[in-house]
A and B are shown apart, each in its own frame.
Chain A
Amino acid sequence: MKSSTLIRLASQSILRNRMRSILTMLGIIIGVAAVIVMVAVGYGARSRIHEQINNLGTNMIVITPGASTTGGVSQGAQAFATLTVEDADKIRNESQNVAAVSPVIVSRSQVIAPGGNWRTMINGVDTDYQMIRAWQTDSGTFFGPDDVFAARSVAILGRTVAQRLFADSNPVGQEIQIAALRFKVTGVLAPKGQTASGSDSDDVILIPYTTAATRLTGKPRIPQILASTASEGELSAAQDEIKTLLRESHHITGDDEDDFTVRNQTDLATAAESSTRVMTLLMAAIASISLLVGGIGIMNIMLVSVTERTREIGIRLALGARGSDVLTQFLVESIVMGVLGGIGGLVLGITSAKVLAHFTGWETTISPLVMIIAVGFSGAVGVFFGFYPAQKAAALRPIEALRYE
């Protein structure tokens, strides 16, 4: 039989039992829609995380003190404050691949301005920090090398801090008080939005690290050094170089473990992505179960249909249809049902994902590959669950089928 004839026969039979066919396909429709929505949300979450990690800065390397393990006992990073300003200087002066280096001295403090007060993060950084984080100033300017050298009391405000302390007025040139010290505001940073962990990137004040070390915290040790390379290609060479330099300056030799950790943003991205991938897979797996249930629905209805149409099968066999003709006819019917359900599910899934994105603000991404897989898979469900009923039909003996009432 021609394939066009087969498809026509299948559609006729599906249309004849419209209500039953729709209910049968509903299982597949819901299953496919669920898979599409889950994967769309999962992909959306991943691309958002990716974006946020890129937002941290380009080709960024994060150096934190503390070994990942000490004598077999895993230690949290920053367990020991082993990094010093000299380490940052050494990297800046001796590394071939690193383009920018900045220590980061983190503290939290109450900040008082004429217009209000606010508790926020005070980051002591070097001028390179601006380049590493790719962070522009909206108004005013970033502090310069001489401000760092002289440990001047200058501050750059994050957008959130600027709004909290000065509301609508321009903070540049104004004075603020951080932990009883007076600082002059020289600039306001462009907004960066949320970090990957959900906290506000813009809730921060940047001051020269020299100022932070000598006047705020009073500690010579620093909790973090940020570095960046000119391009992504130099990232791993730079990481190796930093490790060698720091081992040298920390007098670590032979097989002794590092007392610091060097990571780049790709590692961060991978870690974050793998956790969302697991979530996406889990959700897709749960959604697939409904697809399975939908398939069982198809099988059930096809079995009923074969019994109902025993006489028709008998007529076809008597007129010269082979078992394989009957098998194909019923198989095509269940495949058409599966594929139609798949397409219906696709439409419902895309619509739901759009609606969800609209109301929750979650980003959803639907890749064409997922669509093809979803429809293909529902067709495969049709084959798998349609095969047994179709085979049952094909195995009927013509005289018995003809006599069936």
Chain B
Amino acid sequence: MNDIVIQTDKITKTYGSGTTEVHALSNVDLTIRRGELAAIMGASGSGKSTLMNLLGCLDTPTSGSYTLDGVRVDGLGKNELARIRNEKLGFVFQGFNLLARTSAVENVELPMLYDRSGRKRDTRALAVAALERVGLGSRLDHQPSELSGGQQQRVAIARALVTEPALVLADEPTGNLDTHTSIEVMALFQQLNEQGITIVVVTHEPDVAVYATRIIQLRDGQICRDEPVKNPQTAARDLEKLDRSSA
């Protein structure tokens, strides 16, 4: 089994042309192995959102190559990219991006509706299992408006997990959450990571990055720092501490 999930070679993204040309990302080489919990950090304008879009196959690079889970992704057409997103990627967004007026189970079932492998699966059972995995087994039929922010984000995480993707991409997953809930979400990520799931979190909050096993710092469209974290903090333990001090 291929151990490398993400491999980019001189990946570049340029917006505009001529005098208005903007290099959002230039010659980024990045390799992420299976089982990592990597944090991509950077100030706004550093190119982290662009990188996130490219890694998430939501956008195509201007030049350079990108291999995701053994598949060359650059140069693929819209429909192939849609298939890659469906099979290999799970997304967690800052704004949760759940379908309104749709139950938690139906939201989690959503990516399986677009599955083109033709295999027969009990999508509801899988969705229920994914929701139980994120601790929402008792909120199956609640609509997003009936759930707290943290719960909504956990529904989104369940939705990202349900297809068993090679990579879970989280774009500012704690951006809309308070500190306690943020740590809760990171604890969930750590727990899933221990179960072997590769996760890339894009964030500008150092408080969130401390839970990652690797921190990648972007500046002006280039990687300026990329180092593993020896002993990352355990979110679960921080949560206990937080609960004790407030009690």
Where the two chains meet, the residues of A that have a C-beta atom closer than 8 Å to any C-beta of B are 1, 5, 16, 311-312, 314-325, 398-399, 402
Contacts and interface: CB of A to CB of B under 8 A. Distances in A.
B82 interface: yes
Given A16-B101, A402-B97, A320 B111 contact: yes
16 contacts: A1-B113, A315-B99, A316-B110, A318-B56, A318-B58, A319-B110, A320-B87, A320-B111, A321-B86, A321-B114, A322-B83, A322-B114, A324-B79, A399-B53, A402-B58, A402-B97
Interface in B68-96: 78-79, 82-83, 85-87, 91, 93
Contact of A402 (B79, B93, B100, B114): B93
B130 to A, nearest CB: 13
Contacts of A311: 97
A319 B111 contact: yes
B226 interface: no
B114 A316 contact: yes
B114 A399 contact: no
A121 B55 CA distance: 97
A23 to B, nearest CB: 20
Given A312-B99, A399-B59, A319 B93 contact: no
Contacts of B48: none
Contacts, number: 55
Nearest to B78: A323
A319 B79 contact: no
Across the A-B interface, the 7 shortest Cβ-Cβ residue pairs: A320-B86, A320-B114, A319-B111, A322-B82, A320-B85, A398-B58, A321-B114
B85 A318 contact: yes
A124 B79 CA distance: 86
Contacts of B214: none
Nearest to A324: B79
Interface residues of B, number: 24
Interface string B54-65: 001011000000
Contacts of B111: 319-320
Interface centre among B58, B85, B115, by most chain A C-beta atoms within 10 angstroms, is: B58
A25 to B, nearest CB: 21
Nearest to B96: A315
Contact of A319 (B53, B100, B114): B114
Contact of A315 (B56, B82, B87, B97): B97
B85 A319 contact: yes
Contacts of B87: 320
A316 B82 CA distance: 10
Contacts of A324: 79
B159 interface: yes
A314 B171 CA distance: 15
A306 to B, nearest CB: 15
A315 B82 CA distance: 12
A323 B86 contact: no
A140 B86 CA distance: 92
Contacts of A318: 56, 58, 85, 91, 97
